[in-house]
Amino acid sequence: MSADSEFSDSVTANISRLRQDAALKSQSMNWLVASAERRYSYNFRWMGRPIIQYPQDMIAMQEILWEVRPDLVIETGIAHGGSLVYYASLCQLIGHGEVLGVDIDIRPHNRKAIEAHPMASRIRMLEGSSIERSMIERVQAEAAGKRVLVVLDSNHTHAHVLAELQAYAPLVSVGSYCVVYDTVVEDMPPDAFPARPWGVGDNPKTAVHEFLAGDGRFEIDRDIEAKIQITVAPDGYLKRIR
Ligand SMILES: C[S@@+](CC[C@H](N)C(=O)[O-])C[C@H]1O[C@@H](n2cnc3c(N)ncnc32)[C@H](O)[C@@H]1O
């Protein structure tokens, strides 16, 4: 057995132990709730652009991009562009792939900074609602014939995410992923998002569950959440299996 396959076997065994580790899961969740209350996800930048993510999810995305090697990463929800720049920089290191961002409101200063960024040649942006028919058609045209990875990180209501899943999950290539962020809202205290239209019972996780009940092409990759433990996307790493 090679040193590399011995290492992979030990990682696999560790992840399968972590999947059963209720104590660590509970501690991770407690920390996640406390850190979310302190706006932890707003602390980071990637290559100078603010990225509204937890570092553990970013590492999971790095593993996914390396494995999938997509031609096109489609992300709904651009904000300051940090996540677009992050995926584009991974494509740059891999030597392949482009990123297409969709946002209902691309602020001029954000657009300017993204367009001036060293990773800009791998990034394109479309402005409009991700669930508008004309936007879906534009993105479908961009995705045609490509190996596609989808990330949903825009409006986090049940209805919006379900509509995004119905529109964009079918674009995902077999073996690739549709990553749905902020499913963790379902597991947070009910008063955690007083100023938001989403909350417990109405959020990305409830949308994922409704979507999966009617679509057998995807399964939740539970190894990813077991390995990173801290994630804003529990039940949100959807792998296309057929
Ligand atoms: C959480 S932020 C995105 C964060 C970004 N992906 C990152 O990791 O840094 C959510 C973004 O979704 C956008 N958004 C809200 N409703 C939308 C819609 N209907 N269609 C597309 N984007 C929308 C907002 O304008 C906002 O920029």
Nearest atom, ligand 1, residue 130 CA: 20
pLDDT of residue 194: 84
Edge to edge, what strands does the sheet with 237-240 contain? Answer: 123-127, 98-103, 72-76, 148-152, 177-180, 237-240, 218-220
Ligand 1 midpoint to CA 34 (Å): 23
pLDDT digits (tens, 9 = 90+) for 94-146: 999 999 999 999 999 999 999 999 999 999 999 999 999 999 999 999 999 99
Amino acid found at 77: G
CA 34 – CA 87 distance, rounded (Å): 28
Angle, CA of 158, 159 and 162, to the nearest 5°: 80
At 235, is the pLDDT very low, low, confident or very high (cuts 50, 70, 90)?
very high
Q: Which domain holds residue 37?
A: 3-240
CATH number of the domain where residue 94 is located: 3.40.50.150
pLDDT of residue 193: 85
* Other Cβ atoms within 10 Å of 193 Cβ, number: 17
Ligand 1 midpoint to CA 132 (Å): 14
Within 6 A (CB) of ligand 1 lie: 51-53, 76-80, 82-83, 102-105, 129-130, 153-155
pLDDT digits (tens, 9 = 90+) for 213-225: 999 999 999 999 9
Q: Count up the domains in the chain and report the number.
A: 1
Nearest to 168 by CA among 156, 185, 180, 182: 180
Nearest to 154 by CA among 176, 132, 187: 132
Structure tokens at 144: 């045609």
More confident position, 195 or 208:
208
Per-residue DSSP letter, 199: B
Ligand 1 midpoint to CA 66 (Å): 25
Residue 1 has pLDDT above 80, yes or no: no
pLDDT of residue 21: 96
Per-residue DSSP letter, 134: H
pTM of the entire predicted model: 0.97
